[in-house]
């Protein structure tokens, strides 16, 4: 019975996948005598939390009820009031939370607050599923960096682009529509300047309502043209560079981009500096979309957590492979995915997995 109600809470939480960041997705279910009397989920950042929504849904029936919630109730006032106060005021008898909240201002304090008020609290029902749902949130707060997702579309012979660097379009329309969902979930979409010069992408999200992901270009030498579509589109644009060329930086800034200078490692910007900058900006998830140099350096640096590879039924012949710039590895030290899944999107097949160690 506990798992049944917690699973319902997880399904509710997932409905906030596009709108809650940098907050976690949270769902809540109130029960009494084995039946559901109230449901709620965190709908958007800045809006009521899941516990408050469920209590409001249950009304007076919440008194003496059990609360199933996918994450420990918060115990501090931010954009909304503390959920622990709402739980106590509603007269809830018991709380079942899937996981603790890794936020530095919570980390078990919510549980201690409720127990001090005489409310029984249990932790751990469907904890693995709850952590996976909020994998970016946990990575951000526990490892103090964004969750890094690498997405690429490849031909059957492993090419990311043709010999001229062009990659439009390897994947089909169904896969490209699905990629828009990845952008909607991400706090930032990142490419290298080579992709901007070759494809002139917008990197916008067509299914986002209002909020666009931060568009990031890694451009060590500031080669991005001020008239590039990535600069002129809606939303914020961040160009990370090692260049001291003030004239080029000013031209990009006048076009609407923000230019930030970071330390470089050889010809590439350092990933530790990149991720530190995004962490400072409260970016929970960064989606790397291209190109081969950026993907190779991210894989070499060991900062990629999750991989989506779209395999299209296309044979291209010699071109640019996804990992052509990676350092050679013996088979015994290859990067191997775990928890691998596959799905078919039109004529394409998507392989998803987590890199070992993530």
Residues designated as active site: 51
Q: What whole-number distance in Å separates Cα of residue 26 and Cα of residue 38?
A: 15
Distance CA 315, CA 69 (A): 48
Q: Which of 49, 42, 94 is nearest to 75 (CA)?
A: 49
140 contacts 22 by C-beta, under 8 angstroms: yes
DSSP state of 105: T
d(CA 40, CA 134): 17
Q: How far apart are CA 286 and CA 275, in angstroms?
A: 9
Q: If you search the block for the tokens 């950026």, which residue do you land on? A: 294
Separation between Cα atoms, residue 292 and residue 184, nearest integer Å: 23
Residue 132 to residue 209: CA distance in whole angstroms:
25
Residues sharing a CB contact under 8 Å with residue 48, sequence separation 6 or more, in sequence order: 40, 42, 56, 80
Please tell me whether residue 351 adopts helix, strand or coil conformation. Answer: strand
How far is residue 31's CA from residue 188's CA, in Å, rounded to a whole number? Answer: 38
Partner residues linked to 152 by β-bridges: 309
Separation of alpha carbons 74 and 24, rounded Å: 11
Instruction: Evaluate whether 205 touches 213 at the Cβ level (below 8 Å).
Output: yes
């Amino acid at each position: 019975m506990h798992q049944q109600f917690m699973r319902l809470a997880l399904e509710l939480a997932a409905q906030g996948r596009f709108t809650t960041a940098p907050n976690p997705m949270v769902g809540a279910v109130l029960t009494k005598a084995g039946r559901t009397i109230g449901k709620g989920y965190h709908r958007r950042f800045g809006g009521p939390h899941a516990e408050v929504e469920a209590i409001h849904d249950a009304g007076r029936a919440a008194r003496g009820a059990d609360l199933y919630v996918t994450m420990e109730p918060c115990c501090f006032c931010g954009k909304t009031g503390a959920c622990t106060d709402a739980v106590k005021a509603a007269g809830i008898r018991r709380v079942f939370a899937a996981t603790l909240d890794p936020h530095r201002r919570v980390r078990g304090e919510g549980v201690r607050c409720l127990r001090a008020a005489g409310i029984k609290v249990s932790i751990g029902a469907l904890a693995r599923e709850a952590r996976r749902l909020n994998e970016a949130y946990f990575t951000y707060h526990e490892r103090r960096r964004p969750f890094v997702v690498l997405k690429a579309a490849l031909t059957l012979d492993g090419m990311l682009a043709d010999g001229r660097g062009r990659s439009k379009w390897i994947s089909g329309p169904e896969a490209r529509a699905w990629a828009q969902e990845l952008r909607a979930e991400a706090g930032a979409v990142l490419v290298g300047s080579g992709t901007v010069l070759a494809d002139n992408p917008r990197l916008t999200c067509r299914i986002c309502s209002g909020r666009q992901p931060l568009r990031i270009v890694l451009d060590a030498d500031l080669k991005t043209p001020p008239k590039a579509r990535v600069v002129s589109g809606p939303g914020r644009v961040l160009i990370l560079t090692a260049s001291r060329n003030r004239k080029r930086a000013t031209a990009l800034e006048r076009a609407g981009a923000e230019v930030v200078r970071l330390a470089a490692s050889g010809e590439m910007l350092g990933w530790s500096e990149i991720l530190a900058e995004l962490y400072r900006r409260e970016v929970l998830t960064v989606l790397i979309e291209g190109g081969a140099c950026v993907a190779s350096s991210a894989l070499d640096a060991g900062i990629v957590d999750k991989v989506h590879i779209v395999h299209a039924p296309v044979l291209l012949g010699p071109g640019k492979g996804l990992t052509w710039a990676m350092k050679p590895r013996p088979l015994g030290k290859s990067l191997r995915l775990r928890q691998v899944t596959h799905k078919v999107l039109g004529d394409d097949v998507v392989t998803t997995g987590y890199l070992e160690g993530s």
